[in-house]
Amino acid sequence: SFVADLLIACWCLCTAMLQDIQENIKLTQQEVVLTHEKVDLTHEKVNLTQQQVNLTQQKVNFLAKLVVDEFTYTTGKISGSHQDQDFKKQLQMYYGHQHGNQQEPSQLSCMLLDVLLPKSLVVGTHIFKRCWRGKMKLILGLPDINDPRNGLLLCKGLQHALDDSRICFAYDNHEGEQKFILELLDRNLQNTTVWEYMQENNLTKYKLEQFGEGERKVALLSTFGQLKGKSLTFSNGKHPFKRCLAFHAKQAVRRAHEEGWLPDNWEPMASLTYASEEAKERLGTWLDMVRDAPAPISESSIKDDED
């Protein structure tokens, strides 16, 4: 009887302990389920957050591309003829071409070909285009879109190629001598002459034989490949804003890569920006990440370029 009572007591105790264990197991299982639910909810929040981040990034990239694309150099950005004529006169005054040639007043020199051509074949072109004048201070700190240092005097073929991102000018400062060297961005033009390019784009009504057999004809029959590496000439020592040519070069190279004119491993012969390290960083940052970058040109950089 004692043994029987002991066994009964042990059985009751074990049963009670087993019930407690089962209750604890149920509670633990409930906690595990709740934990899983919390984890799943956290994962859902993380996924939702990541989706929001991705969507925001897509919007940012889209807006950045819109801003960068706004400043793409194409022939559609060329100013009207009456606007260019007024600007051309300012450029002639600034660069010392206001009287043309005393013996041939109807002639004007192209800054790259460095020969006298009929005035109608030499045009004044804005580097930072006139249609962007509303953003000229923000982007480049320009005081006036018609500032002569925002322009060049080029023959029509070279102006067209510059405005269409087929060529650009790299900056070289060797032993204090500033040079602006032509870079060919469209390799398809390697063996195309300036004259052929003008004819293909309906830029001249002249006939080649009208230029005789002298240096003018030789210059117009130069291929873009032969002009690669040639420097702009400035008879009075005045030159355009480096920041304007740097901006054009960066944007033109961007388009050339997009169009497949340049290989991915292409390297310029000289710098596509100018000496100020601050300006290099700000211009490059702005072009690569329009969203957060400050305006690319600071006051100190502008002063550097005024000299």
pLDDT, tens digit (0-9, with 9 covering 90-100), for 117-139? 999 999 999 999 999 999 888 88
Confidence of residue 223 (pLDDT cuts 50, 70, 90): very high
Tokens 């000289």 -> residue? 270
Q: Tell me what the mean pLDDT of segment 148-162 comes to.
A: 97
Confidence of residue 63 (pLDDT cuts 50, 70, 90): very low
The fraction of the chain above a pLDDT of 70, given in percent, is 71
CA distance 211 to 260: 35
Q: Which residue has the higher pLDDT, 228 or 29?
A: 228
pLDDT of res. 177:
82
pLDDT of res. 271:
73
Residue 115 tokens read as: 């020969």
DSSP string, the chain: -HHHHHHHHHHHHHHHHHHHHHHHHHHHHHHHHHHHHHHHHHHHHHHHHHHHHHHHHHHHHHHHHHHHHHT---GGGPPPHHHHHHHHHHHHHHTT-TT--SS-TTEEE-TTT-SEEEGGGEEEEESS-GGGGGGHHHHH--S-TT-GGGEEEEEHHHHHHHHTTSEEEEEEEETTEEEEEEEE--GGGTT-BHHHHHHHTT-----GGGGTTSHHHHHHT-BHHHHTTPBP--TTS----HHHHHHHHHHHHHHHHHHT-S-TT---SSBSS-S-HHHHHHHHHHHH-TTTPPPS--HHHHHHHH-
Distances (CA, A) of 18 to 24, 26, 29, 30, 302: 10, 12, 16, 18, 85
7-11, 188-192, 231-235: which has the minimum mean pLDDT? 7-11
Residue 244 reports pLDDT greater than 90: yes
17-21, 135-139, 145-149: which has the minimum mean pLDDT? 17-21
CA distance 92 to 106: 13
Q: What is the CA radius of gyration of the chain?
A: 35
Confidence of residue 114 (pLDDT cuts 50, 70, 90): very high
Residue 260 reports pLDDT greater than 50: yes
Residue 131 tokens read as: 């249609």
Residue 62 reports pLDDT greater than 50: no
Per-residue pLDDT of 179-218, as tens digits, reads 999 999 999 999 999 999 999 999 999 999 999 889 999 9
Q: Which residue has the higher pLDDT, 53 or 125?
A: 125
pLDDT of res. 100:
53
Residue 296 reports pLDDT greater than 60: no
pLDDT of res. 264:
86
28-32, 109-113, 130-134: which has the minimum mean pLDDT? 28-32
